[in-house]
């Protein structure tokens, strides 16, 4: 079910990955997901919105290949085979906590995923500096995490994900622990990068207002075991501005999204 019949251009784009009848039961017997169907389209900004424990982060881990579904299928819609197909599936992952190595500089923290792929520091320098420049941290390449603010640490985490030039970016509540001013600023930076890079983004959040501001589409999830209860289309142009954040249209979409969330939770 969709809360709006109006389609943004990304809703008409080809799918990049599809979850069909996906369920996930953990070894301790917890059923995190049940009958989850979700089509992720190229270039869209998709938010997963739902209560704690509904399986939002589990969906990210399944898409990233960090875990396997108990039932159901996850299908990548590759346009090519071999190495080209692997590029199609190049996934960047930004966790809720920056998880930076305290003994390493900003540069070396951003280098980590390329280092794990066997790419030398020297060969990776151009990619890393491009990533740091994109988040405004080029001048802090030699700084250590202890010298950075919370927002700057999260920028390093984002740069680390960008260094691999991902086709799809998975973000697990990356701004939840930040103050509101920093959160708003990073929301704007993220939308700018999404617009420039043409990524597909799957973004986990508990915030109705954040999901409306960032997204082209919001998938509203039920309580555990999670599934997609409904979708809300945010048919607003990009880039979003402060005017949209405080507009009646934003408030109206947020109201519909909140109502859909309450229905999904059985309230």
Q: Where are the domains of the chain?
A: 9-90+166-264, 103-165
Asked if residue 225 has pLDDT above 50, the reply is yes
Mean pLDDT, residues 49-68 taken together = 94
Please provide residue 247's backbone torsions phi and psi, each rounded to the nearest 5 degrees. Answer: -85, 155
Please provide residue 250's backbone torsions phi and psi, each rounded to the nearest 5 degrees. Answer: -60, -45
In this predicted model, what pLDDT tens digit does every residue of 13-29 receive, in sequence order? 899 999 999 999 999 99
Asked if residue 82 has pLDDT above 50, the reply is no
Rounded Cα distance, 177 and 152, in Å: 13
pTM of the entire predicted model: 0.90
Rounded Cα distance, 221 and 231, in Å: 9
Asked if residue 3 has pLDDT above 70, the reply is no
Query: Among candidates 69, 74, 94, 61, which has minimal Cα distance to 17?
Result: 74
Please provide residue 63's backbone torsions phi and psi, each rounded to the nearest 5 degrees. Answer: -65, -40
Asked if residue 44 has pLDDT above 50, the reply is yes
Asked if residue 256 has pLDDT above 50, the reply is yes
Domain 9-90+166-264: CATH class, spelled out = alpha beta
CA 179 to chain centre: 19
Average pLDDT, the chain: 90
Asked if residue 180 has pLDDT above 60, the reply is yes
pLDDT-based confidence at residue 135 (cuts at 50, 70, 90): very high
Contact 23, 192 (CB under 8 A): no
Contact 200, 40 (CB under 8 A): yes
Asked if residue 63 has pLDDT above 50, the reply is yes
Q: Are strands 71-76 and 217-221 parallel, antiparallel or unpaired?
A: unpaired
Contact 188, 244 (CB under 8 A): no
């Amino acid at each position: 079910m969709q809360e709006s019949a109006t389609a943004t251009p990304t809703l008409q784009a080809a799918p990049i990955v599809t979850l069909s009848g996906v369920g996930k039961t953990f070894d301790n017997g917890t059923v995190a997901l049940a009958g989850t169907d979700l089509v992720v389209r190229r270039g869209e900004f998709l938010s997963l919105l739902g209560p704690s424990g509904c399986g939002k982060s589990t969906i990210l881990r399944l898409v990233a290949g960090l875990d396997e579904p108990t039932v159901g299928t996850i299908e990548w819609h590759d346009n090519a085979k071999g190495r080209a197909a692997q590029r199609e599936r190049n996934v960047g992952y930004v966790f809720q906590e920056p998880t930076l190595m305290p003994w390493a500089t900003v540069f070396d923290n951003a280098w980590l995923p390329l280092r794990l792929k066997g790419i030398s520091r020297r060969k990776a320098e151009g990619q890393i500096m491009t990533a740091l420049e994109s988040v405004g941290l080029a001048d802090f390449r030699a700084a250590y995490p202890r010298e950075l603010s919370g927002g700057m640490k999260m920028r390093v985490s984002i740069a680390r994900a960008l260094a691999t030039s991902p086709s799809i970016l998975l973000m697990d509540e990356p701004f939840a622990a930040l103050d509101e001013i920093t959160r708003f600023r990073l929301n704007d930076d993220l939308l700018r990068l999404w617009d420039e890079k043409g990524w597909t983004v799957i973004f986990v959040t508990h915030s109705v207002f954040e999901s409306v501001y960032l997204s082209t589409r919001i998938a509203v999830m039920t309580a555990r075991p999670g599934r997609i209860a409904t979708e809300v289309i945010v048919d607003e142009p990009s880039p979003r501005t402060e005017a949209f954040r405080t507009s009646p249209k934003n408030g109206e979409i947020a109201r519909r999204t909140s109502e859909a969330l309450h229905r999904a939770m059985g309230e």
